[in-house]
Amino acid sequence: MAGHSKWANIQHRKGKQDAIRSRLFSKLAKEITVAAKMGDPDPEKNPRLRLAVKEARASSMPRDVIDRAIKKSQGGDAGDYENIRYEGYGPGGVAVIVEALTDNRNRTASNVRSTFGKNGGNLGETNSVSFQFERKGEIFYKPEAGDADTVMIAALEAGAEDVETDEEGHWITTGEDDLGTVSAALEQSLGESETAKFVWRPKVTTPIEGEAFDKLMRLVEVLEEDDDVQSVTTNMEASEDVMAAYAAS
C-alpha cells in the first residue's frame, strides 16, 4: 500500500497528499490491529504483524499511532474483520485486483461492484483475473545497503528468487511463502529493509492510453478512497509520457 514500487506504473496513485496520507494511515492501522488480534501482539512473534508494522514505519506512521493500533487489538472494539479479494476488468480491458479488509462483506461487495459499474469496469468472479498475476514477496533496500553484487549474493543466499537494482535501490523478489524467512535472513546480512510486503506481479500487461487510461485511473482512485479497500493492483502498461502527463494534470 505504501512507499515506492518498481512497478509504480502498475500501482499508480494520484491525489491530494494530505488526503492520501490520512487514508493510508487509517488502512495501515486497521491491518496492524487485525494482525495483532489474530495472532500475538508482539511483532517479533507474529509475522503478519511484523510486516504490517514495517510497512507502517516505511510510510512514516508515528510510533504512538502504531502502538495504539496494537493496543486496540486487545480491547473489545477491534471488530471482526475478514480479508476479501475482488477481481474484474477496468476500461481498456485492464485486469484489476482489489484487496479489502472488512467487517461487513455485503457493504464492501456492494460498494466495489458499484464503483466498477460507474467507472467503466466490470466486476467478475473470484479467480476471473488473478490467473494473470503471480503472488510474490517484495523486499526493498536503499542503495546504502550495498552495491548490486553484494545485495545479489546476500539475497540469493537467503533464498530470494531475483534482485533488480536501479537508482532507487534494490528490489528483491521472493516466493509467496518465503517472504518472512528471506526478510529475516537479509536482516542478518544487510540490516533492516525499508519494506517487505506481498505484491501481485502481472504475468502479462495490457497497454492503455488516452481516454481509456484516464477512466482506468479514475476507477483506481475511487476504489482506493473506500475505507474497506486495502490495495488495488492492475496489469496496465502505460508509457512514461502518459504517466507523466497524468501526474502533472
Q: According to the model, what pLDDT value does residue 15 have?
A: 47
Residues 201-239 pLDDT 10s: 999 999 999 999 999 999 999 999 999 999 999 999 988
The full length of the chain comes to 249
Question: Measuring CA to CA, which residue among 151, 147, 170, 173 is closest to residue 160?
Answer: 173
Split at pLDDT 50, 70, 90, the class of 19 is low
Query: Helix, strand, or coil here: 158?
Result: helix
CA distances from residue 55 to 2, 32, 62, 85, 117 in whole angstroms, order as listed? 7, 10, 12, 20, 31
Judge whether residue 2 has pLDDT over 90.
no
Given pLDDT bands bounded at 50, 70 and 90, which one contains residue 248? confident
From CA 206, how far away is CA 248, in angstroms rounded? 23
The C-alpha cell at 26 is 487509517
Partners of 135 in the beta sheet? 200
If one counts every other C-beta atom within 10 angstroms of the C-beta of residue 189, the result is 15
220 contacts: CB under 8 Å, gap ≥ 6: 12, 13, 90, 96, 232, 234
Query: What is the mean pLDDT of the segment spanning 129-146?
Result: 95
Global pTM value: 0.83
**Percent of the chain predicted with pLDDT > 70:** 91
With bands split at pLDDT 50, 70 and 90, how would you rate the model's confidence at 76? low
Cβ-Cβ contacts under 8 Å for 169 (sequence gap 6 or more): 140, 141, 142, 143, 145, 194
| Separation of alpha carbons 146 and 152, rounded Å | 10
Beta bridge partner(s), residue 138 = 173, 197
Q: Is the dihedral of CA 102, 215, 4, 68 positive or negative?
A: negative
Give the pLDDT band of residue 59 (cuts 50, 70, 90): confident
Question: Which position has the higher pLDDT, 112 or 245?
Answer: 112
* Cell matching residue 170: 534494490
181-207, pLDDT tens digit by residue?
999 999 999 998 988 999 999 999 999
* Percentage, residues of the chain above pLDDT 90: 66
Of 67-76, 80-89, 137-146, 169-178, the poorest mean pLDDT is in 67-76
CB 95 within 8 A of CB 201: no
Q: Is the pLDDT of residue 12 over 50?
A: no
- The per-residue pLDDT of the chain, averaged, comes to 88
Domains of the chain and any CATH numbers: 17-72 (1.10.10.200), 82-127+204-248 (3.30.70.980), 132-202 (3.30.70.980)
Please, are residues 49 and 70 in contact by the beta-carbon 8 Å criterion?
yes
